[in-house]
A = this chain, B = another copy of it.
């Protein structure tokens, strides 16, 4: 499956999060054949749950998997260390990233450790995040432990 089509799923999730009053970051996990395994968005505000970043929400939604070889995690925003650690530990093969302008997480580290990184630099993702950070700097800082 094309990276841009995968990103569209993550963007849908980010928009859903924003509509719920949450932090607009979305993600999805795709299998080796392009099948959707799980999708989700940041749920800090909605559930009062700091452990559910978009990537971990998508990973959780995918349920137990014997292996992550060949899977792709797509996310609207460069993955933070928490989510980068998830990718490395479970051997997720590829990360498709909407943008890394508003936040530069651990994707260079992942590339060094053999993860394929596809950075799309999508203007819509960047605009949505920049707008949110401007309006809610406290929430954003809380979400990244800053």
Contacts and interface: CB of A to CB of B under 8 A. Distances in A.
Interface of A: 44, 48-52, 56, 59-60, 62-68, 80-86, 88-91, 106, 142, 144-145
Contacts of A90: 50, 82, 145
A106 B62 CA distance: 25
Number of this chain's copies in the assembly equals 2
26 contacts: A48-B63, A48-B64, A49-B60, A49-B63, A50-B60, A50-B62, A50-B64, A50-B65, A51-B52, A51-B59, A64-B142, A66-B142, A67-B145, A68-B145, A81-B85, A81-B86, A82-B82, A82-B85, A82-B89, A85-B85, A85-B88, A85-B106, A89-B144, A89-B145, A90-B145, A91-B145
